[in-house]
Structure 1
Amino acid sequence: MKDRLFEKPLEKQFEFDEEVAAVFDDMIERSVPFYRQNLDLIVTLLLRFLKPGMRVVDLGSSTGLLLIELARRCGVEVEFIGIDNAPAMVELARKKSRALEADVTFLCEDLMRYDFGGADVVVANYTLQFIRPAVRGKTVQKIYDALKEGGLFVCSEKVLMEDKWLNKQIIDIYYDYKKGQGYSETEIMRKREALENVLIPYTIEENRSMMKEAGFSAVDTLFQWGNFATMVARKRGK
Structure 2
Amino acid sequence: MLRSAEPEAMDFIAAFNDPQAAAQYAEGPRRFVPGYEALHRMTAILLAEGSPANARVLVLGAGGGLELRALAEAHPTWSFVGIDPAREMLKEAERVLGSLMDRVTLVEGYIDDAPSGPFDAAACLLTLHFLEPAERAATVRAIHQRLKHGAPFVAAHGSFPQAKDERPRWLDRYESYAVASGADREQAQKARTAVGAHLPTLSPEQDADILRVGGFSDVALFFAAFTWRGWVARA
The TM tier, using the shorter chain, reads 0.7 to 0.9
What displacement does 1:206 show? 0.6
Q: Deviations over 1:59-108 (max 9, x none)?
A: 00121112222212214x32211111110111111122225566222221
Q: What's the counterpart of residue 188 of structure 1?
A: 188
**Root mean square deviation, CA, Å:** 2.1
Partner Cα separation in structure 1 for residue 132 and residue 113 of structure 2: 15
Aligned partners of 2:183, 2:70: CA distance in 1, in Å?
27
Counterpart for residue 200 of structure 2:
200
The answer (yes or no) to whether the contact 1:85–1:111 under 8 Å persists in 2 is: no
Whole-angstrom distance in 2 between the partners of 1:190 and 1:175: 9
Deviation at 1:28, TM superposition (A): 0.9
Contact 1:157 1:201 in 2 (8 A): no
What does residue 61 of structure 2 align with? Answer: 60
Compare 169-178 and 41-50 and name the one that shifted more.
Answer: 41-50
Residues 16-165 of structure 1: pairs in structure 2 closer than 5 A: 16-17=16-17, 18-75=19-76, 77-99=77-99, 103-161=103-161, 163-165=163-165
Gaps of 5+ in 1: 1-12
TM-score w.r.t. the length of structure 2 is 0.85
Which has the higher mean CA deviation after the structures are superposed, 160-169 or 118-127? 160-169
Please say which structure displays the higher CA radius of gyration. 1
Letter in 1 for 2:41: D
User: Where does structure 2 lack aligned partners over 5 or more consecutive residues?
Assistant: 1-10
**Counterpart residue number, 1:6:** none
The whole-number CA distance in structure 2 between the counterparts of 1:115 and 1:21 is 25
TM-superposed CA distance for 1:135, in Å, is 1.8
Does the 8 Å CA contact 1:33/1:225 hold for their aligned counterparts? yes
Partner in structure 1 of residue 6 of structure 2: none
AA of the residue aligned to 2:203: T
Kept after mapping to 2: 8 A contact 1:47/1:70: no
Q: Give the superposition deviation at 1:196.
A: 5.6
Shift, 1:48, TM fit: 4.2
Moved more, 205-214 or 185-194: 185-194
Same amino acid, percent of matched pairs: 28
Q: Structure 2: how far apart are the matches of 1:216 and 1:137?
A: 11
Q: 1:117 to 1:99 in 2, by over 3 A?
A: closer
- The separation in 2 between residues aligned to 1:114 and 1:123, in whole angstroms, is 13
Aligned residue for 1:216? 216
User: Which deviates further from its counterpart, 204-213 or 167-176?
Assistant: 167-176
